[in-house]
Structure 1
Amino acid sequence: MRDIWTAGPEASGESYVAMRAGFRWDVPATFNFGSDVIDRWAQERDGPALIWRNAAGAARTLTYSDMATETNRLGNVLRAHGIAAGDRVLVMLPRIPEWMTALVGALKIGAVPIPCIEMLTPRDIEYRVRNSGAKAVICRAEQADKFVAVTGEVPVRIAIGGEAGSPADWLDWSRALAAAAETLEAAVVRADDPAIMYYTSGSTGHPKGVLHAARALYAWRVSAMYWLDLRPGERIWCTADTGWSKAGTSILFGPLSCGAASFFYDGPFVPSERLKLLAEHGVTVYCAPATELFRLVDENIAAYDLSALRRVVSSGEAMNPVVAGRWEAATGLRVDEAYGQTETLMTVLNYPGEPVKYGAMGRPSPGSELAVIDEAGRRLAQGEEGALALLTPNPQMMLGYWQDEARTAAAHVEGPEGRWYLTGDRASFDADGYLWYRGRADDVINSAGYRIGPLEVENALLEHAAVQACAVVGSPDTERGEIVKAFVVLRAGHAPSDALARELQDHVKHVTAPYKYPRAVAFIAALPLTATGKIKRRDLRDQEYAKADAAP
């Protein structure tokens, strides 16, 4: 495997075929991202690691040596309060520098950070804390009230900022770190030791805890080298939210493994502001979801100096070929898509210097064996549609779903070549080895890069007094890929109306994370059910896609 100190595939001139043929995994027996990456860069080639700005004009830059010191301090604070290797630390922070410090500081002592977005409701937090058994939480002071129900269950609570200071019984981040030592003996973390956990929505039940090992944090640099094509000293702006695995790989683990600097912006999405910031900060690699690029191509891109920008990539949702073409026409830069999941991260890539086919997912990443298989785990021929699967073992692959062996086992199938992980997506290969996405095998909704489980939204709707039954599906949307659409059967005494639809939308925003609310609500007399009484979401989803296909 290419060392982190060297340039990517474009600079080396490797073709895709040579890349795949020559690649070998070389995962070390132990790997601590904090000491083996952050501290190493700080000692051998210091430079900016994080360049932060917010909408109010505040700015901060952290070098690798700054990051090494700050994460040592936090590691000492956590240890002093009883947090040990393997303990889970829930980190619920927005796009602020402390997010990166919190994750790396926890990793340095062998603890397992759980990144979360601030949009989580108290109920969401309660589930995550109790399911994970988290022993520490780090959040902003103004978010502390969300933890009231579980305060007695989390012994270490650290709050950041707040005009009135930290809440009672919470440690103040600034004071605690200022009093802590700057040196730290990092934990020895074995390759298969748990390292980080993300919660991701499924088609049924509560969100799943996806547990990754230290080897994954090492292996995820592959996409930074071969897809992002990052080099030491470059600047990348990945706009993913902090609770998503994509933020981990393309803001933290990938870029910093390559010695690059991550640009981090805490502010609302304003298309013209995006372009202005790209120009002002000399961003060289821009990573954005298709939804974002969809908005940017309508701006006067020529008015901004994007001369430093050399690479644009997208993931999290299917890239619209028309939008990609418009972006390339406006900037001279193509959009190279990648495909991955929280369980595996990026396993299908489009590579610099190699042909791109807009609409295709790309080709398998070095070190990852993907195939389109049938129900028996046998490879299907070129052009045949089937289940997209990843051959295991693979160091990028999760350890499993947290405390759910049955679900972990159900995500795999044994075939003639070995054990395959089923992505839940369907695809086919073309003659050139490119994968083409053919849809989900389950009901998860992918809206603007957010994965939303229908049951979470349905459960929220069912708490409303007017709702007798409901089903939630993804409905195709030009801008967001899919939107959440709710089909609602009303109780007696309630009549369909636009006002009631808005009331239901507001209700969901308050019960669960706001991004999950149904952007469309349809009132129907009855839901389609199977013979055993299960909701046939697929029928409703197919109906939505059929309407979109029939539209002029």
Structure 2
Amino acid sequence: MHAAFGWKVPEYFNIAQACCARWASQPDAIERTAIRAHGTAAGTEFLSYLELQVRANALSHLLVTLGVQRGDRVAVVMPQRFETAIAYMAIFQMGAVAMPLSILFGPEALEYRLQDSEAVVAICDEQSVVNLQEVRGRCAHLRTLIGVGDAGAKADVPYEAALAGQPTRFEAVKTKADEGAVLIYTSGTTGPPKGAYLAHRAIIGNLPGFVCSQNWFGFAHSPNSDAVFWSPADWAWTGGLMDALLPSLYFGRPIVAYNGRFSPELAFTLMQEHGVTHTFLFPTALKAMMKAYPRPREHFRLQLQAMMSAGEAVGDAVFAYCQEQLGITVNEMFGQTEINYIVGNCAMNGDTSRGIGWPARPGSMGRPYPGHRVAVIDDEGNECEVGVPGDVALNRFDVHGDPDPIFFLGYWKNDTATRNKFTGDWCRTGDLATRDADGYLWYQGRADDVFKAAGYRIGPSEIENCLVKHPAVINAAVVPKPDKERGAVVKAFVVLAPGFAGNDELVAQLQAHVKGKLAPYEYPKEIEFIDALPMTTTGKVQRKELRLREEAKARAA
């Protein structure tokens, strides 16, 4: 597949044209559903591709009247809802840059990103308008707040009223494929958050991974098929925007939007009600679903055909649950905002009769997707031998020597950080893995999550996966606890399943459980029961927060 695959990136390309305008021009545009809204009032459940285009055209005109120009940053601070998708299409087609911001951000997080990006307009709803009002006076370039729904009364421009008088035809700007389209700020694990600047061509770079991880989505189905996509991933993040919303629209398929809190019951009910066939679920979500519904098909009628998971290691416990209880081989995927969707699986649910796909191996990140030259490299940029841990890295050029379109343009106003991301033509991820003889990668953890205890190198994900296999454990996070004699010992923070009590007896059970399955030095010397793990808004466990907590306790002792 790698040898036969070649990139065909046109000189001019626009995400909005590929994801909306071309479908809106088809004869069935009014019947073809772009977005289904879950849990909304009757009459507001569906948005067709024609309606998506017409409303995007009106919003583009409004933004022009507000002085937005080509290349200007426009913040989108909304959850999964029609207006969010409309905003993206409107911004892209006028040549401006969309800057997604999570509704979970507080004033300080919003202020930093708005100041750094010099965003000129922010589109928000009632969940974010108050925080935006609080900081706008300190954001010199932010001229206008557009308020959707109830936020209209608190913003400068009420969305619905302003759009009502706008033309519904808009002449899209002819953007180059290398032109900037999206500015997404990565979490600041080492210093302040950095703005990853993505080009329109990035969606093209995403497509091989999306198609493979969704078991040939867009190819195995005709345009009139029943494929329906859903993911709880926020459309303000790479996982929700680039791995769910945009690729679903690119293939002219409907995606389900849900503006509410995730729960296992919600996930299964939503997938049943909308006939969801393809999904992206975080490992943390799958763990909660596994514990809440050990035999889900006894309660729900599901039509799943493919599932991708990313953000953390899936682990063999969740892998087996998906196969045995959901009838799906979960395709693990790996990528970053800067270089997304580069490694993963394409299990085809075990069907390799057509000569496509490759078997998923429990616990493995998978193999490089076609078009991406991925390696495990050492500190000097040399490829590591089989079984030797190193940094997962992506080369600027594919196996044919052609530029890989997935690459970000650079960090916004931070050339030093951009240079530091690379060793020659290799872009480092900061994630450690080993490669086996068949080319599968095996995740070892973030470089800053791996630690040594009593001289042994410890990767937290394997221990966490082992703990989750115990019926008492919903989720777990492993960090080093400072120790004067051994440097550090293994400590586990554990979230318990309903019906279990955290006590010394359970601690001993869990320690014995890990001892019986892993190396003796890997079992947690200390276990602390916790109501919830600190998580990022993208569903990743914040081990750093737990690690810093332990270091502070050690200093105070």
| Interval of TM-score (by shorter of Structure 1 and Structure 2) | 0.7 to 0.9
Distance 1:134 1:324 in 2: 42
Matched, 1:153 2:141: yes
Pairing partner for 2:159 from 148, 173, 177: 173
Please state how far the C-alpha of 1:208 moved relative to its aligned partner. 0.8
Please state how far the C-alpha of 1:154 moved relative to its aligned partner. 0.9
Aligned to 1:33: 15
Q: Deviations over 1:351-399 (max 9, x none)?
A: 1242110100001011000011122222222222212110014210111
Pairing partner for 1:253 from 243, 246, 259: 246
Please state how far the C-alpha of 1:61 moved relative to its aligned partner. 0.8
Matched residue of 1:83: which SS?
A: coil
Q: Deviations over 1:68-105 (max 9, x none)?
A: 11111111110111101100011110121111111111
Please state how far the C-alpha of 1:305 moved relative to its aligned partner. 4.5
Matched residue of 2:433: which SS?
A: strand
Aligned to 2:429: 423
Matched, 1:526 2:521: no
Matched residue of 2:119: which SS?
A: coil
Please state how far the C-alpha of 1:484 moved relative to its aligned partner. 9.1
Aligned to 1:457: none
Distance 1:301 1:253 in 2: 29
Pairing partner for 2:410 from 400, 404, 410: 400
Please state how far the C-alpha of 1:515 moved relative to its aligned partner. 9.4
Matched, 1:337 2:343: no
Please state how far the C-alpha of 1:58 moved relative to its aligned partner. 8.2
Please state how far the C-alpha of 1:519 moved relative to its aligned partner. 6.9
Distance 1:428 1:485 in 2: 22
- Cα gap change, 1:443 to 1:330, in 2 (>3 Å): closer
- Cα gap change, 1:480 to 1:87, in 2 (>3 Å): farther
- Cα gap change, 1:303 to 1:276, in 2 (>3 Å): farther
Pairing partner for 1:93 from 78, 82, 94: 78
Letter in 2 for 1:167: K
Aligned to 2:360: 356
CA contact (8 A) 1:223 1:254 kept: no
Please state how far the C-alpha of 1:157 moved relative to its aligned partner. 1.5
- Cα gap change, 1:28 to 1:304, in 2 (>3 Å): farther
Please state how far the C-alpha of 1:482 moved relative to its aligned partner. 3.7
Letter in 1 for 2:426: W
Matched residue of 1:153: which SS?
A: coil
CA contact (8 A) 1:221 1:249 kept: no
Please state how far the C-alpha of 1:216 moved relative to its aligned partner. 0.7
Pairing partner for 2:382 from 363, 368, 378: 378
- Cα gap change, 1:43 to 1:317, in 2 (>3 Å): same
Letter in 1 for 2:20: I
Distance 2:317 2:126 in 1: 44
Please state how far the C-alpha of 1:196 moved relative to its aligned partner. 0.2
Q: Deviations over 1:451-506 (max 9, x none)?
A: xxxxxxxxxxxxxxxxxxxxxx999584456489999xxxxxxxxxxxxxxxxx99
Aligned to 1:284: 277
Distance 1:97 1:294 in 2: 29
Matched, 1:63 2:58: no
Q: How many residues align?
A: 456
Please state how far the C-alpha of 1:236 moved relative to its aligned partner. 0.7
Matched residue of 1:76: which SS?
A: helix
Matched residue of 1:191: which SS?
A: coil
Deviates more, 1:260-269 or 1:365-374: 260-269
Distance 2:170 2:481 in 1: 51
CA contact (8 A) 1:429 1:435 kept: yes
Distance 1:317 1:57 in 2: 37
Letter in 2 for 1:421: C
Distance 1:336 1:125 in 2: 34
Pairing partner for 1:230 from 203, 208, 217: 217
Letter in 1 for 2:7: W
TM-score by length of 2: 0.76
Please state how far the C-alpha of 1:59 moved relative to its aligned partner. 4.5
- Cα gap change, 1:260 to 1:128, in 2 (>3 Å): same
CA contact (8 A) 2:78 2:128 kept: no
- Cα gap change, 1:383 to 1:26, in 2 (>3 Å): same
Q: Deviations over 1:47-74 (max 9, x none)?
A: 1111111378884211111111111111
Matched, 1:297 2:290: yes
Q: Deviations over 1:330-363 (max 9, x none)?
A: 1221111111111111000201242110100001
Letter in 2 for 1:146: N
Distance 2:242 2:367 in 1: 19
Please state how far the C-alpha of 1:219 moved relative to its aligned partner. 2.3
Please state how far the C-alpha of 1:443 moved relative to its aligned partner. 5.4
Question: Which aligned pairs between 1:101-500 and structure 2 lie closer than 5 A?
Answer: 101-147=86-132, 148-151=134-137, 153-162=141-150, 165-167=152-154, 170-228=156-214, 229-231=216-218, 232=223, 233=225, 234-298=227-291, 299=293, 300-351=295-346, 352=348, 353=352, 354-392=358-396, 393-414=403-424, 419-442=425-448, 478=468, 479-480=474-475, 482=477
- Cα gap change, 1:254 to 1:154, in 2 (>3 Å): same
CA contact (8 A) 1:238 1:247 kept: yes
Matched residue of 1:50: which SS?
A: strand
Structure 2 gaps, min length 5: 353-357, 397-402, 452-459, 469-473, 483-530
Letter in 2 for 1:126: E
Please state how far the C-alpha of 1:36 moved relative to its aligned partner. 3.2
Distance 1:205 1:54 in 2: 39
- Cα gap change, 1:481 to 1:175, in 2 (>3 Å): farther
Distance 1:191 1:444 in 2: 38
Matched residue of 1:297: which SS?
A: helix
CA contact (8 A) 1:119 1:514 kept: no
Distance 1:74 1:262 in 2: 21
Letter in 1 for 2:162: A
Distance 2:481 2:153 in 1: 40
CA contact (8 A) 2:271 2:302 kept: no
Q: Deviations over 1:183-236 (max 9, x none)?
A: 000011111111101111132211110000111123222222222232334101
Letter in 2 for 1:281: H
Matched residue of 1:422: which SS?
A: strand
Distance 1:364 1:306 in 2: 34
Pairing partner for 2:5 from 7, 23, 31: 23
CA contact (8 A) 1:28 1:191 kept: yes
Letter in 2 for 1:367: G
Aligned to 1:83: 68
Pairing partner for 1:50 from 30, 35, 53: 35
Distance 1:55 1:289 in 2: 24
Matched residue of 2:240: which SS?
A: helix
Aligned to 1:495: none
Please state how far the C-alpha of 1:144 moved relative to its aligned partner. 2.0
Distance 2:254 2:207 in 1: 14
- Cα gap change, 1:480 to 1:128, in 2 (>3 Å): farther
CA contact (8 A) 1:372 1:429 kept: yes
Matched residue of 2:203: which SS?
A: helix
Letter in 2 for 1:403: K
